Structure 1
């Protein structure tokens, strides 16, 4: 059984340098109730005198140890701005807060045994949390979402909620309430560093095939995830909606695209990065759909959209249960040792006859050393051996160069293929290995768009 770790300032003073920020405005709020006012007056005085240390959200998150609950013993305080709201019922007994009103760099979850907290903890409200006696951990062990809670479970690997009575003493509002400026990102730019932040995903739309569906599957008792895709690159993200939200039976706006704004987090088990809405009004799809000319995220678990040609060797392109997210297409010349191979993965024919601009985008990851993957385009391929069939032009792309990690997925950049507009095009990934060097490549989220 794991024990709850107790953290005091002595144990991490060498990791962080705490100091009272004399330039901060610790003016006393006047419009939040006399008792709460008095508690905050005392807390701000403690910070200014140095008897309490004001931490950043990033510093609090750095106290987290995977699989453990860390209880804070020292007189530490963290300040933030509320980024989520349970007004619509999409959040339950929790709120998120971030470190800045605009251009935030860190967010954190706060687990609290309180519902309908949106009036007290409204979006943009400045709050101070007295951390002494509280804990840092995960509400569901392994979910990847660092949170502040009241204590720990018997196993010592999950935090419990802060009780409503305790919250009135340790979560103190100032009178300051601001309009948060959402962090504007493309879908491909969103990552786990944005968990807890109020983010606007730009140029997004719901994936094709979701026509006629609601935010929540009526057969689901808890949550439903719907796929979002980018209009400008190969980025994807899942929108998660609670069955208890007041818009659970609203139709998805699948006929348009635009901006969608919400909180970045992970699902219950931590399997997927997701966005959750504060309100359905934060979906601003005011442009027409941007369905791609060709798109494959390999979620179908097959390579049916591709022509696989093995010129040399026994190894070939295949589906792997890993990816960005999983699955993806994989190639390796290693089998009991490095082997000589030349393998091509070629798209089906893509019609560009009505377009004037065309862009290709994909993502790649590499492990081990070997010849670099190459990417080609052809307008006259006819389905045979690509070494003799068609004129192939090598494209200038960005590939993953970190052969030591499976997590270094790299975006190709937007590759201009407008010179092929007005006709047809094929895209090919050419892999080569030798008897002495065989890299392993995975590719994902291949996307061709045009206008």
Structure 2
């Protein structure tokens, strides 16, 4: 009888433990403190950083350790993940959440809870990661602690899929016919390398436009305003039941006379997949990511709580309501001379080469025999050429709305850069150009891989949010490095060309 009674009590105790140990996925709370082992490990890391025995690196520095194109052949099919071989730590704040099932065995961390400058992906062979790595949690990752016979050293920095340019922290590598990629951290690796602090911050979304989203934003929590789903998606859900894994829905924003578009992707495993798409206009906050085949940047929701489309739908502008207040096709400029006249300022910040007027032989727009503004560092003989071409002043207070439009082309751009900038505090004096405040504008600039005779339209660039007197600048950054490098290696001496610069204002 005593034995039976003991067994009964033991079984009851086991059942009680089992019941109290189960936590419903939709009923959880973030722990206010951490386990003793995790606390001790984190304290050791912080002490090591303080006394200099452990180096803390930024997310940007960590990502830079991975060379995506070691052969300098223009692609990354030859890239090999980098195994960390020093005792370094990276800190970040969790920007993603798999609570709704829209992420799977992965988290993203960004370098700050607001105004982030870099983010990185971490793949972990676990589900329901939100229970431990909740959004906003401050996390330290020790990538190569001192040798432990039970745990292999040196985590890897690379790509989860060859060529997708989503830089990722992984626990190992694997190689197939496409290349070498990183694999997930196992549970033991994650537990021994990833340590939470007790800090959880509210992640403030980085406010950005569709045109500004780039690979640099992958993993960041961003917000886009003035967004809606197209009319043809009314009565549709986030997920299309005819799809197997993911559904892509177009997002649009009124961008002057046309829409700018982006992709929202939703997983078949998300718990909001059958929710109806909202029909209004507003803001959306999501993680910047990429499609599985890496063909496109996408937005991925943590939750539909981050979709606020309660406003009225936007309306496109009517071109007939606008007129040109400035238009220059550079035909009045002297061929092979520095651009001057018509209010333009050409300024060489570094080097002696400057913007000049040339007669084009291109068969595309504007066509052979027409004049263009051109700048290239080839044969300049100096390693740094920085030159500015600045428009005449634009009075932004004379009307309600203004747009800028132009076309660009390149000739063997060779990694030189062309920036599009606006200033409302430059006083027109050349000596004050570099000390003025210049802000990047989101116009479309011809890409490096465009055919050299093609001309690319900038789109209509809205500058109506600025006030006062403005100047638009094209800033060329390049250099003649051909004498210091093997042929076609590291050169930044390409040429950019501009034509048909216009300023449109609302009548």
TM-score range, shorter chain: 0.5 to 0.7
Aligned counterparts, 1:275-354, within 5 A: 275-292=299-316, 333-334=362-363, 339=368
2:377 equivalent in structure 1: none
1:236 equivalent in structure 2: 261
Which secondary structure state, in structure 2, belongs to the residue aligned with residue 159 of structure 1? strand
Query: Within 1, Cα distance between the matches of 2:185 and 2:272?
Result: 28
Q: CA deviation at 1:157?
A: 1.7
Q: CA deviation at 1:411?
A: 5.4
Per residue, is there more helix in 1 or in 2?
A: 2
Does 2:281 match 1:262?
no
Does 2:73 match 1:49?
no
Query: Within 2, Cα distance between the matches of 1:55 and 1:404?
Result: 31
- Aligned in 2, Cα 1:398/1:47: closer, same or farther, shift over 3 Å? closer
1:310 equivalent in structure 2: none
Aligned counterparts, 1:14-413, within 5 A: 31-66=33-68, 67-132=79-144, 133-155=154-176, 157-232=180-255, 234-253=259-278, 255-292=279-316, 333-334=362-363, 339=368, 365-368=408-411, 406=450, 410=458, 412-413=460-461
Task: Give per-residue Cα distances to partners, 1:356-377, cap 9 Å, x unaligned.
Answer: 98776878552349xxxxxxxx
Counterpart contact for 1:55–1:77, Cα < 8 Å: yes
- Aligned in 2, Cα 1:152/1:249: closer, same or farther, shift over 3 Å? same
TM-score relative to the length of structure 1? 0.63
Counterpart contact for 2:139–2:194, Cα < 8 Å: yes
2:486 equivalent in structure 1: none
Task: Give per-residue Cα distances to partners, 1:203-246, cap 9 Å, x unaligned.
Answer: 11112321121111111111111111113455321111111000
Counterpart contact for 1:368–1:403, Cα < 8 Å: no
- Aligned in 2, Cα 1:409/1:78: closer, same or farther, shift over 3 Å? farther
Which secondary structure state, in structure 2, belongs to the residue aligned with residue 110 of structure 1? strand
Query: Within 1, Cα distance between the matches of 2:407 and 2:197?
Result: 46
- Aligned in 2, Cα 1:238/1:75: closer, same or farther, shift over 3 Å? same
Gaps of 5+ in 1: 1-28, 296-331, 343-355, 370-396, 417-438
Which secondary structure state, in structure 2, belongs to the residue aligned with residue 153 of structure 1? strand
How many residue pairs match? The answer is 320
Query: Within 2, Cα distance between the matches of 1:100 and 1:43?
Result: 19
Which secondary structure state, in structure 2, belongs to the residue aligned with residue 31 of structure 1? coil
Query: Within 1, Cα distance between the matches of 2:310 and 2:295?
Result: 31
- Whichever of the two has the greater Rg, that structure is 2
Which secondary structure state, in structure 2, belongs to the residue aligned with residue 91 of structure 1? coil
Query: Within 1, Cα distance between the matches of 2:237 and 2:497?
Result: 40
Query: Within 1, Cα distance between the matches of 2:212 and 2:276?
Result: 27
Task: Give per-residue Cα distances to partners, 1:309-350, cap 9 Å, x unaligned.
Answer: xxxxxxxxxxxxxxxxxxxxxxx9539xx85699xxxxxxxx
CA RMSD of aligned residues (A): 3.7
Counterpart contact for 2:228–2:252, Cα < 8 Å: yes
- Aligned in 2, Cα 1:404/1:283: closer, same or farther, shift over 3 Å? closer
Q: CA deviation at 1:412?
A: 3.9
Query: Within 1, Cα distance between the matches of 2:251 and 2:186?
Result: 36
Query: Within 2, Cα distance between the matches of 1:52 and 1:172?
Result: 15
Aligned counterparts, 1:409-428, within 5 A: 410=458, 412-414=460-462
Query: Within 1, Cα distance between the matches of 2:248 and 2:158?
Result: 25
Query: Within 1, Cα distance between the matches of 2:289 and 2:137?
Result: 20
Query: Within 2, Cα distance between the matches of 1:161 and 1:442?
Result: 50
Query: Within 2, Cα distance between the matches of 1:442 and 1:405?
Result: 19
Task: Give per-residue Cα distances to partners, 1:124-152, cap 9 Å, x unaligned.
Answer: 10000011110001111111211101111
Q: CA deviation at 1:101?
A: 1.2
Which secondary structure state, in structure 2, belongs to the residue aligned with residue 281 of structure 1? helix
Counterpart contact for 1:203–1:232, Cα < 8 Å: no
- Aligned in 2, Cα 1:113/1:398: closer, same or farther, shift over 3 Å? closer
Query: Within 1, Cα distance between the matches of 2:448 and 2:63?
Result: 27
Query: Within 2, Cα distance between the matches of 1:368 and 1:400?
Result: 17
Counterpart contact for 1:57–1:79, Cα < 8 Å: yes
Which secondary structure state, in structure 1, belongs to the residue aligned with residue 409 of structure 2? strand
Gaps of 5+ in 2: 1-30, 69-78, 145-153, 320-360, 372-398, 413-440, 465-495
Counterpart contact for 2:443–2:461, Cα < 8 Å: no
TM-score relative to the length of structure 2? 0.57
1:312 equivalent in structure 2: none
